[in-house]
Structure 1
Amino acid sequence: MSLKTLSLQKSSQAFEGDDDGFLIDAPKLRRLDIEDYWGCFCFAENMPEVVEANVDVIYKNTEKLLGSLTSVKRLSLCLITSEAAYPAGTIFSQLVHLELCTCAPRWWELLTRLIEDSPKLRVLVLRQKHSRRAPSPRAIWKQPVSLRKGLLSDLEIFKWELYEGSQKQKEVAIFILKHATRLKLAYISPKSTSTLLEKHEMLKELSCTSRGSTSCELLFDCQ
């Protein structure tokens, strides 16, 4: 009987040394859940049938892991870095639902790559699941290098939870609203610590943004 579901959780350091980690070889695996705040590595190979994955790790290099998830349809990600997240040329050809955590520094760079490499994406959810893992560096957000025809053309639902309205966040939100030509719903929920005035200012800024979809409904939680 082949393994279909795998859940790995490591919240404390059980061993010391660089050889502590996981090696996954599961050709029939359908679902992967991994949460590891202490491990040194996780290598994965031969996982051609995974359709759902939740990856919340602090590995500096996740190329082996994410590079093995090209069949995934639903993906939840929280990484500490966007560098070497997955190999260049990787295409998530089946990915339709993506949830990306915004707690990591330069998270927007990983989002840019995933937008370019996920041609069937229909649902995009951005949320801060943890406290900031490091101060956000002063770096500009770069739009996808090549605005290929059809980029974000399948996106139907866009949600942003704990939206703060920073300059980078505004640029990302405006880009998505502008280029998602079939977007049906955009739901923005600000952080609870934002004042009512700040929330209304965020709403005003995004409401005035031109949208690629004439049928897009913009919902904003001002409570």
Structure 2
Amino acid sequence: MWDPQVRALSADHDVLAVDIRGHGESPVATVDYTISSLADDVLELLDRLDIGSAHVVGLSLGGAIAQYLAAHAPTRVRTLTLLCTSAKFGEPGGWLDRAVFVRSNGTGALAEAVVGRWFSPEFAGSVDSWVAMVTNTPDEGYARCCEALAHWDGRADLVRITAPTLVIAGAQDPATTPADLGAIADAIPNSTLHVLNPGAHLVNVEQSDAVSRLIADHIAAQGLDGDL
């Protein structure tokens, strides 16, 4: 999902795209998932690669992980970019119900509905590959990440974030609305909000050039280079 930004930013930065546990090429760990443990996975990876600090970018669940890193491991986060995310993703019941549904029916049973919230009506691209990506995500990995989001509430931590922060919302995002991103930007000192229109939950794909440019400009404005 980050291929557009990897291509655009790798000319000037070392770019690391992370598969969180239970997704992509990362194995499904049969332990409880929390945002804290998912953030610890990222820190362990940075340690293994001898990366002291990085420009951290996260969207949706990745945005929750990025918020946690910036609040609890501030020396590791040079700049922060949050896209289409929230400091609290609704009430726990909906996520716990989704975890039960996926374990019973598989990710393929909700793939089209999930992807239907990812792009605005103006999106001209094919969604088939995105439906396949969700369908091919391991059921247990998806369910455990739902449980991690069910118990996530990072609102009180936002004021602790000291990294220069770029916040990006999609104007048509039904999952994490511009109001959700506005609340994050209001709470984090030294933050800037951009609302991209058109754009839904995967605004980095739908508005790939604009998002890549905003991230590059955000890093450059701090007079910083290095890993992303």
TM-score range, shorter chain: 0.3 to 0.5
Q: Which protein is richer in helix relative to its size?
A: 2
More strand by share: 1
Q: So what's the TM-score if we normalise by structure 1?
A: 0.36
TM-score, length-scaled by structure 2: 0.35
Structure with the greater alpha carbon radius of gyration: 1
